[in-house]
Chains A and B, each alone.
Chain A
């Protein structure tokens, strides 16, 4: 009985610690500045959407006048960078994952390992020289340049997860399809890919979340024109005079997409987060 009660109390504390910040910021985002600054804080207030309206219109009324903020642009950038890098990673990674799964060849293992080991290396190490290269090549401050660098995160993820799924497909099934008279390519497109689809979808979803949450790449390799919400939000919070409800609303907008995706993909998260290390 006591054990049960202790367990319940502990679980409540855990839930409180991990969920309260999200809840509280959500709450702040529908408060006016007066409500936020009220002391002591009160849960009784009239919710308002004006923070979101201001953010979406880009016209922020502050104590020092109207401020133009392109936060929507940051959101859009996050979307472009996330979708773009995942698509590119799928294009590059799925065929390679298939090659690594089906053929034992030296170079393949080496590529896979190099990519994997750089997934764990300090990103600045590559970003610093890339900044100079990008400036020379005209890739600095471009979506293309960033999407290319984002492959550092998204490609290993997709490569290793999808490879595992390809390995789980019975070789006999592909073999049978070849014997039916279909070309190698047809077999890849109509057998391997459809059968690995759940894995590909899960990997893509996770890769998107990781790309969306990235901060340092765009901080260094782009200006505000291409920077995602993670960098945008920081600039936003440090800009003076912005009211706190709007900051909270900006934070909510930046996390809601990934939170929703995460709830959809939670079944695959364990696997993806550990790159498949702990798959049952």
Chain B
């Protein structure tokens, strides 16, 4: 049953349609990550949900009740801001207590709740400080605590880890799901970082051009992106896109000509014979070999760079097309850095097939 619904929402500024007929349903307690490049309308969407902006058309419902006509103070929606938006003239305690004060709770109850949250987020020792005296990590936790203080029906997190350093970001990425579970919140989490999107959401909504282009589980988005653009947004190094047109071979199987060699495709390819495709192959689905092997194409190794704990190899086929491959640093073939001849085996069983004209994935 849908708990939080966005129903055909639209918003324009002048001539530009920033949010265009956008819909989404979220179940109670679910975390949905909204992922999109900068300028995709995330901020406007959050402002529409939180009520600072009014939509031109469409509705927003919580538990079946429309909230579109309510002011931000009556929506039962909380938000943690990317820049924290702490009240500079109040202590951390008063910042966190603000939603409770608005609800006119007794002083003792306010104090109890603030301390409980502060302990959970490990900021109980800085409650007396003003935002200026807090580190970025503490600011971030204070802002999170404030958004959770009066458990909202829907919690909006606007790229909350953007402005904290790598260490805190990593900690929070682990800690956040625990805190959110504790508060059984329905969460709308906005980020520009695909790893964060993959780590935190039950589902991920990919937002650009004013609407959700695909909403799916993280694995679903990664494994079955609807379009080339989505495929490129997820994955680092990015997916390889190789132009090819499947043809039927003598034995009735579909084959692809890549890098001057004919490769046998999976059975699903047979229905695509004769169409102009872009074949998407993730770097980790390419195995680099030092010896020629069955089904491996001859390529030249241009460069080899470590990325985190993986090795990334830049390959070039006979036509000069660049292909990226990656594997765990420990498993990489014994290669020196110099340019040399190697062989690449493409796992076509995991390949994505896109129509070259529409750039949409063919199911």
A binding-site residues for B, Cβ under 8 Å:
170-173, 175-184, 186, 191, 194-195
Q: In the complex, which residue of chain A has the Cβ closest to the Cβ of B52?
A: A175
Residues of A within 8 A of B146 (CB): 176, 180
Sample of 18 A–B contacts (CB below 8 Å): A171-B52, A173-B88, A175-B47, A175-B79, A176-B79, A176-B87, A177-B98, A178-B73, A179-B75, A180-B73, A180-B150, A181-B73, A181-B99, A181-B150, A182-B102, A183-B73, A191-B87, A195-B88
Residues of B within 8 A of A194 (CB): 89
Contact call B78/A172, Cβ cutoff below 8 A: no
In the docked arrangement, what's the CA distance between A254 and B128, Å? 46
Scoring B74, B77, B89 by chain A CB atoms within 10 A of each residue's CB, the highest score goes to B89
Residues of A within 8 A of B167 (CB): none
Residues of B within 8 A of A179 (CB): 50-51, 72-73, 75, 77-79
Counting residue pairs across A and B whose Cβ atoms lie within 8 Å, the total is: 63
Shortest beta-carbon distance from A180 to chain B in Å: 4
Residues of A within 8 A of B3 (CB): none
Partner of A177, one of B77, B87, B103, B150: B87
Within 8 A of A (CB), among B92-118: 98-99, 101-103
Q: Is the interface of A mostly helix, strand, loop or mixed?
A: helix
What string of 1s and 0s marks CB contacts (under 8 Å) between B140-180 and chain A? Answer: 00000010001000000000000000000000000000000
Contact call A180/B99, Cβ cutoff below 8 A: yes
Residues of B within 8 A of A186 (CB): 102
Q: In the complex, which residue of chain A has the Cβ closest to the Cβ of B96?
A: A180
Q: In the complex, which residue of chain A has the Cβ closest to the Cβ of B97?
A: A180
Residues of B within 8 A of A177 (CB): 87, 98
Q: In the complex, which residue of chain B has the Cβ closest to the Cβ of A186?
A: B102
Contact call A172/B89, Cβ cutoff below 8 A: no
Shortest beta-carbon distance from B136 to chain A in Å: 16
Contact call A180/B85, Cβ cutoff below 8 A: no
Q: In the complex, which residue of chain A has the Cβ closest to the Cβ of B98?
A: A180
In the docked arrangement, what's the CA distance between A177 and B52, Å? 11
Residues of A within 8 A of B85 (CB): 170, 172-173, 175-176
Shortest beta-carbon distance from B314 to chain A in Å: 42
Residues of A within 8 A of B213 (CB): none
Contact call B83/A172, Cβ cutoff below 8 A: yes
Within 8 A of A (CB), among B63-83: 71-75, 77-79, 81, 83
Contact call B50/A175, Cβ cutoff below 8 A: yes
In the docked arrangement, what's the CA distance between A53 and B77, Å? 67
Contact call B81/A172, Cβ cutoff below 8 A: yes
Known A-B contacts A170-B83, A172-B81; A182 and B73 likewise in contact (beta carbons under 8 Å): yes
Residues of A within 8 A of B150 (CB): 180-181
Within 8 A of A (CB), among B202-217: none
Question: Which 3 A-B residue pairings sit nearest by Cβ, starting from the closest?
Answer: A181-B102, A178-B72, A172-B85
Q: In the complex, which residue of chain B has the Cβ closest to the Cβ of A191?
A: B87
Contact call B89/A195, Cβ cutoff below 8 A: yes
Q: In the complex, which residue of chain B has the Cβ closest to the Cβ of A176?
A: B85
Residues of A within 8 A of B103 (CB): 181
Residues of B within 8 A of A184 (CB): 71, 73
Given contact pairs A178-B73, A181-B102, enumerate 17 new A-B contacts (beta carbons under 8 Å): A172-B81, A172-B83, A173-B87, A175-B47, A175-B79, A176-B146, A178-B51, A179-B50, A179-B78, A180-B99, A180-B146, A180-B150, A181-B74, A181-B150, A182-B98, A194-B89, A195-B89
